[in-house]
Structure 1
Amino acid sequence: HADVNTPGTSETDNIHGMPIAALQGMESGVDGARDAEWRSLLDLVGERKLAPENVAWYGLRDVDRHERAATAQGLAITMHHVDRYGVEETVN
């Protein structure tokens, strides 16, 4: 999974689908208490943020609709690539 969902984009609202978004300091996309909780999490992450272009996903599949744009900013090697070209070629 890409794990670039936010509270405003997640279809399941599971926090385990949001760690990359939190590391990147993405906005919550919601208001009220959920936004406050997200901002508290971002405060715990700290001031240094993970740049989208410094993210690589290997063996990616099951990307949520809202995550597709975020994965385009990094390097996404999908399971389709691995199945088609093999592990050695995709690692290289």
Structure 2
Amino acid sequence: MSTTISTPTAAALAPITRWLVERVAGYLDVPAPDIDPTTPLAEIGIDSVSALSLCGEVEERWRIPADATLVFDYPTIAEIAGYLASELAPEAAAS
């Protein structure tokens, strides 16, 4: 049995990215449009406490485990969104 890995679609990524941008903007107390999803979170000022809080919010929002190392394994919002999209749609990746 072979496993096919698919890339999440823009439609799948957009709402996740938007939610993550809004959360990060809240932690940093800046307007969401000022957050670039491709800039590493550490570079825009997310500290370890905020990173851990974000992981907790991800778990609550999508009911999937979010390891405390999530923001280190996926250092940008875009990368986290891609990971989450693939985790949220495993049946789409298998088809």
Say yes or no: TM over 0.5. Answer: no
Q: TM-score range by the shorter chain?
A: under 0.3
* TM-score normalised by length of structure 1: 0.26
Tell which has more relative contact order, 1 or 2 (C-alpha 8 A, sep 6+): 2
Q: Which has the higher helix share?
A: 2
Q: Which has the higher strand share?
A: 1
